[in-house]
Chain A
Amino acid sequence: MSGNLQGEIALVTGASRGIGAAIARRLAEAGATVVGTATSEAGAAAIGRTLAPLGGHGRVLDVTDAAAVEALVEAVAKEFGAVSILVNNAGITRDQLLMRMKDEDWQAILDTNLSSVFRTSKAVLRGMMKARKGRIISIASVIGLTGNPGQANYAAAKAGIIAFSKSLAREIGSRGITVNVVAPGFIETDMTAALPQEQKDAMLGQIALGRLGQPDDIAQAVAFLASPAAAWITGETLHVNGGMYMP
């Protein structure tokens, strides 16, 4: 196997389906040893089966559990080597108009989509600081920049990821660690399949390239940011949305 990520150890959260699965596959194809996580045993086993031919592995992880995050990062370091590429992809939605949004809908999104990024990033930093290199790439969303009715919680969490990444990029840039964000537009996944058809049609009308994105469109961007070619890019948000939104 040849690739520009030979010798790298990549941890991808939420890798059982959709964008996360595509990212895990891309990084593995580029030569990284990939550990993909899922919340369930079945999900982790499925990741393991998919990645096995590429030398990758599946593990169970609840990104809201700080102790579990630390334990996994430690276990990965012992078994494969210290994590050198972290991809924060795990995320959920709890769409609801704000007037009807329950406190738990807000908390669940912030905890799973934003606080998780804090936990995983902190856990891998020790190894990256020692190695004097590393890549932290988090998956945000175009919604974190544009906003969307019914997604105040999701938008806040995704915007939070962007600001978090800029701060961390400034903190640890001197140690050769880059921190970047990929903000996907409308991608065909289970998450977006749940949206009403009229909302899908309306979004499609705004996409300059005239089609929905595929998970691999995002995975390619992540693989680039993980690669040596992106060595001088940090604190950046790469918008991969088919021209739906151009900041």
Chain B
Amino acid sequence: MSSIEERVKKIVVEQLGVKEDEVTQNASFVDDLGADSLDTVELVMALEEEFECEIPDEEAEKITTVQQAVDYIKAHVKA
């Protein structure tokens, strides 16, 4: 079983079509990884599916970096 960090990273790479080494902990989806607003919505959808959870819209808006995504999953999803 890969770690939450690895799984989040893999999703970001797939969804945004970026290279793995670009996906650093503090990389911002929009500013660093070139995501547009629709990409970020899709990214949250993909995270919901991977971790079988539902991320409310007001929470989803706060997830703007790789680390924030990891933190959210750790706090809200049973591993």
Interface residues of A, Cβ cutoff 8 Å to B: 126, 129-130, 171-172, 174-175
Contacts and interface: CB of A to CB of B under 8 A. Distances in A.
Nearest to A172: B38
Contacts of B45: 126, 129-130
B50 interface: no
Secondary structure dominating the interface of B: helix
Contacts of A129: 42, 45
A193 to B, nearest CB: 44
Interface residues of B, number: 3
A172 B45 CA distance: 15
Closest 3 CB pairs of A and B: A129-B42, A126-B45, A171-B38
Contacts of B42: 129
Nearest to B37: A171
Contacts of A130: 45
A174 B35 CA distance: 13
A43 B34 CA distance: 49
Interface in B1-56: 38, 42, 45
Contacts of A126: 45
A155 B35 CA distance: 39
A175 B37 CA distance: 13
8 contacts: A126-B45, A129-B42, A129-B45, A130-B45, A171-B38, A172-B38, A174-B38, A175-B38
B42 to A, nearest CB: 6
Interface string B45-75: 1000000000000000000000000000000
A129 B45 CA distance: 10
A91 to B, nearest CB: 29
A175 B39 CA distance: 10
A74 B42 CA distance: 18
A90 B44 CA distance: 32
Contacts of A172: 38
Nearest to B36: A174
B73 to A, nearest CB: 20
Given A126-B45, A129-B45, A175-B38, 5 more contacts: A129-B42, A130-B45, A171-B38, A172-B38, A174-B38
A185 to B, nearest CB: 35
Contacts of A171: 38
B65 to A, nearest CB: 22
A27 B45 CA distance: 30
Contacts of B38: 171-172, 174-175
A126 B44 CA distance: 11
A204 to B, nearest CB: 46
Nearest to B42: A129
A126 B41 CA distance: 10
B40 to A, nearest CB: 12
Contacts of A174: 38
